[in-house]
């Protein structure tokens, strides 16, 4: 993970330096939630060619553990993904404009990708990132949710049951839904939860959906990440006059 940083951590033990895992976690992000999470640490930018859910990462996962990760010291080499870099900029972008464009790719490869080299489809940097793009095309969350009548808007809250059922109707298995909590102002009592990430678990070799383990994640203080509560918002991507949108502090979304 990269943009989540240390905001939330599962209450499980992470595996470092080992390549043992039994499935992949494919995490996709909703840009408004990512930008809301930037807080005071980063400034966020969404280009107009980004119109759907983007890739956060493809993570080797061992049961209910977080990890393995950092299985080798193989560095990220941008030359390996040069032939499809423009595609990555749209579907696997780093939205934090105050950091280098390749920072997310570097992070995902050196922490997660190097642990996936035992599977032919993800063996090596080129294959790893191509597989992520392939999965993003296969699990089109914007369309999956739209079919169930769940569309981005500023006025409607959705329930975890609605979103859960929409994804399960497509994958046939349980997924994980992460939200980011924001406040109008620091210490303001009013909270708003934003749908930010959907994680689909996949078989290690066939890349078919499998049920995600029931990992217990601490509910952090607001602002912060947690599994989505019963009700949450799904705001649309917004663009400013210079073809970007900037979120200040804990997410300057309409109505917050």
pLDDT over 90, % of the chain: 68
Q: Extract the runs of DSSP E, i.e. beta strands, from 44-145.
A: 54-61
pTM: 0.87
Among this protein's residues, is 42 annotated catalytic?
no
Sorting pLDDT into bands at 50, 70 and 90, what band is 2?
Answer: very low
Residue 256, helix vs strand vs coil: coil
Among this protein's residues, is 108 annotated catalytic?
yes
Complete domains list, the chain, with CATH? 23-234 (3.90.730.10)
Each residue's pLDDT tens digit, 117-152: 999 999 999 999 999 999 999 999 999 999 999 999
Each residue's pLDDT tens digit, 213-255: 986 666 667 788 899 999 999 999 987 544 444 444 334 343 3
Q: Which of 23, 42, 112, 197 is catalytic?
A: 112
Sorting pLDDT into bands at 50, 70 and 90, what band is 6?
Answer: very low
How far apart are alpha carbons 1 and 104 in whole angstroms? 8
Q: Which of 56, 66, 107, 197 is catalytic?
A: 56
Among this protein's residues, is 134 annotated catalytic?
no
Each residue's pLDDT tens digit, 16-44: 555 799 999 999 999 999 999 887 688 89
Q: Which of 23, 42, 107, 108 is catalytic?
A: 108
User: Looking up tokens 């620091």, which residue turns up?
Assistant: 186
Query: Do 69 and 112 form a contact (C-beta atoms < 8 A)?
Result: yes
Structure tokens at 68: 């393995």
């Amino acid at each position: 993970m990269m943009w989540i940083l240390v905001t939330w951590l599962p209450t499980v033990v992470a595996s470092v330096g080992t390549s043992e895992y039994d499935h992949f976690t494919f995490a996709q992000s909703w840009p408004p939630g990512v930008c809301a999470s930037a807080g005071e640490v980063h400034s966020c930018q969404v280009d107009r060619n980004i119109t759907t859910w983007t890739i956060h990462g493809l993570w080797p996962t061992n049961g209910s553990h977080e990890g393995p990760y950092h299985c080798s010291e193989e560095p990220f080499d941008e030359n390996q993904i040069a032939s499809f870099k423009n595609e990555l900029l749209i579907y696997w972008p780093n939205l934090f404009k105050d950091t280098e464009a390749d920072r997310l790719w570097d992070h995902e490869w050196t922490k997660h990708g190097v642990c996936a080299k035992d599977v032919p489809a993800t063996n090596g940097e080129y294959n790893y990132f191509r597989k992520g793009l392939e999965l993003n095309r296969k699990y089109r969350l914007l369309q999956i949710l739209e079919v169930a009548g769940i569309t981005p808007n500023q006025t409607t809250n959705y329930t975890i049951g609605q979103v859960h059922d929409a994804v399960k109707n497509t994958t046939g298995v349980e997924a994980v839904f992460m939200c980011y909590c924001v406040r109008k102002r620091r210490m303001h009592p009013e909270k708003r939860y934003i749908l930010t990430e959907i994680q689909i678990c996949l078989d290690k070799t066939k890349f078919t959906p499998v049920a995600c383990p029931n990992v217990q994640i601490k509910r952090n203080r607001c602002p912060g990440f947690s599994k989505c509560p019963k009700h949450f918002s799904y705001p649309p991507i917004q663009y400013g006059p210079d073809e970007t949108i900037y979120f200040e502090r804990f997410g300057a979304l309409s109505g917050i």
